[in-house]
Structure 1
Amino acid sequence: MADNSSMTGGGTLLHFGERFYIVQLLVLIFLCINLLLIVTLFSKVYFYTTMRYILFTVTLLSDTLILFITDVMFIFSYSQVKMPIALCVPVYIVVVVYTFVTPLTLTAMTLECYVAICMPLRHGELCTSRRAVHCVLIIHGLSFVPLTLILSIFFASAPTSLYSEHRICSMDIFVYLRWQDNAKMAVYQLYFFVMSATIIFSYIKIMKAAKKAVSGENNKSSRRALGRVTLHGFHLLSCLILLWCPFMETAALQTDFKLFLNVRYFNYIVFNLTPRCLSPLIYGLRDEKVFLALKQNVPFQFHFGQNSVQIKKI
């Protein structure tokens, strides 16, 4: 979950044209998949009146926005397009805020699973569509806290003349002093510690509920919830690894510049692009209601024979 600078910082990122076109192809495919899922979730009233699917939609919208913006920044960086630093500030605001929105929303979805399994009698009361909207507002408010801290330190320490300088728009330019980077990382680590602890706590509680479940239906619901929480955990883990990518890239740069370029490219594809599409796609396909609605919205029809492989839904 770093500042998505894995492929957008610096002016000499890629020297191989084929890598540029590979990235553009992947981004196009991932954007199409995410947009298809978003259209699907807005196609049924049930999806935007149920807390679980409201939060899922927020995750998709956040990831899609980040995919688009970081790809535009990547194109500008590859093309050596420079702009005033003042124009990079709005871009930086959106990137940082929505980089936090995704893992915070995953945490909220995990808590919804916990309430559904461990507090079923209160689920209808606590997980209404109105509370989901309040939850989304709180998530965005919490996402602005790290941004406010980072920009406040930057504005207080950077000279006024810096804003008129023309540079390639990257996230690195907003870390003017080394201690700013340390402070930023400390805030990021704190957020991820709290979110990781919440997901682990929910997973343990749901696992205990699954073991205590007497009826087959309760046990099945608990195991479905465990599957969802596990997926949220892997998605969150990919965000956490992305936070550590700058450290790996710095170590690679000290060793060999070509290795640095390869590591940066690998990190961008594996920890930035891929999780923002595959995790939501897997979650959508493994949800029975989303899967059935998705079949109706794809531009071609699926035909499943009796011997075809069935997708396991959780």
Structure 2
Amino acid sequence: MQPHNLSLSSNSHESLSIIIKVCAVTPLFCVFLCCVIVMLHIFASHRHFLETSRYTLFACMLVNDTVQLFFSVLLFLLSMGRVTLALVYCAPLLFVSLVTFQNTPLILAAMSLERYVAIVYPLHRPAMWRSDRLWVMVLALLILSCIFPIAMFSIRQPEPAEDILTTLYVCKNFNINSSPTQTILKVGIHVSFFSLVAVIVLFTYVRILLETRNLRQDRASVGRAMHTVMLHAFQLLLCMLAFLYPITVSFIQLHGHWSKQDVAFFNYFCFMIVPRFLSPLIYGFRDQSLRGYIGNIFSCYFKKANLQVRT
């Protein structure tokens, strides 16, 4: 085969690979977005959900994960299209993506603590845990989540010829924040954040477990709270899958012959997209009252669709 034909074959294979990757990510995000819109519509339509601290925090997690997935998918599509952006445009996209990524485990920690407070202080709940005061905590968690991206961009050392308005980059975190100092800082902050959240989840589970020995709460309520905290631990585990990237890269390079682009996509899809897709949906569809409303909405939709088809 001539070099020209080899080049055409290679380009065709690469184009097909990009189309497959985009077709795998985009529909999944659309399904996730539809489910989130349905759940947020339920929260907005039924006031008692937003008057309950647990559902208020869950709504915040839904919004946070939706924003994170949106910017993550946007950056993915820009990367697949080889679109280059100046730093002044790329940095805000990366900043929002990193902030929301960091904020998810903090919201999970707050949700676990909320269950602990609800069980231990059922009649005298502290003011900060009331649904009308939770916005203060949510804002504080968001500000705390901003520390990591701000620190990453602050210690960045630009190249001598770099211009934030004209120098173009493929908008990836590795291309912008790749110095050894930034890598060490990233590892340190991620380990600290996730270790703190893991300790909080474990603490709340143990405390709720010990509460079962008291007669102040019925065991069914305590049992549900324990299952909820265990679910938060599972959600945290899903979030931590993003840090398996170095392990999977080493394993695939030893036992497979994948290209770097395919390895990067495998890690992105399996350890970033899918966990973020599953985490809030598992929690939402597990909740009995929320699941009932979701079922009613979809049943009404299918009934209307059937009527339109018949007419």
TM score, norm. by length of structure 2: 0.83
Corresponding residue SS for 2:83: coil
**Which residue number in structure 2 is paired with residue 308 of structure 1?**
none
1:191, distance to aligned residue in structure 2 (A): 0.9
For residues 222 and 302 of structure 2, the distance between their equivalents in structure 1, rounded to whole angstroms, comes to 29
Determine which of 132, 146, 167 is the counterpart of 1:130: 132
Tell me the amino acid that sits aligned with residue 99 of structure 2: V
Tell me the amino acid that sits aligned with residue 51 of structure 2: T
Contact 1:13 1:261 in 2 (8 A): no
**Which residue number in structure 2 is paired with residue 236 of structure 1?**
236
**Which residue number in structure 2 is paired with residue 170 of structure 1?**
172
Contact 2:86 2:169 in 1 (8 A): yes
**Which residue number in structure 2 is paired with residue 4 of structure 1?**
none
Cα-to-partner distance string for 1:42-101 (whole Å, 9 max, x where unaligned): 221112222211110110011111111111111111111111122101101111111112
Unaligned runs of 5+ in 2: 1-13, 304-311
Identity of aligned residues (%): 29
Determine which of 81, 84, 89 is the counterpart of 2:83: 81
Kindly report the root-mean-square deviation, in angstroms, between the aligned alpha carbons of the 2 structures.
2.6
**Which residue number in structure 2 is paired with residue 18 of structure 1?**
20
1:259, distance to aligned residue in structure 2 (A): 5.9
For residues 246 and 172 of structure 2, the distance between their equivalents in structure 1, rounded to whole angstroms, comes to 13
For residues 77 and 44 of structure 1, the distance between their equivalents in structure 2, rounded to whole angstroms, comes to 40
1:142, distance to aligned residue in structure 2 (A): 0.6
Determine which of 190, 193, 196 is the counterpart of 1:194: 196
Contact 1:110 1:229 in 2 (8 A): yes
Contact 1:66 1:98 in 2 (8 A): yes
Corresponding residue SS for 1:130: coil
Tell me the amino acid that sits aligned with residue 224 of structure 1: R
Corresponding residue SS for 1:46: helix
How has the CA–CA distance of structure 1 residues 118 and 263 changed in structure 2, closer, same or farther, with 3 Å as cutoff? farther
**Which residue number in structure 2 is paired with residue 269 of structure 1?**
269
Tell me the amino acid that sits aligned with residue 161 of structure 1: E
1:140, distance to aligned residue in structure 2 (A): 0.6
1:196, distance to aligned residue in structure 2 (A): 0.7
For this pair of structures, how many residues does the alignment match? 289
Cα-to-partner distance string for 1:177-197 (whole Å, 9 max, x where unaligned): 122111111111111111111
**Which residue number in structure 1 is paired with residue 222 of structure 2?**
222
Contact 2:128 2:134 in 1 (8 A): no
For residues 36 and 198 of structure 1, the distance between their equivalents in structure 2, rounded to whole angstroms, comes to 30
User: Which protein shows a greater Rg?
Assistant: 2
Contact 1:213 1:219 in 2 (8 A): no
Cα-to-partner distance string for 1:91-112 (whole Å, 9 max, x where unaligned): 0111111111211111100000
Contact 1:157 1:176 in 2 (8 A): no
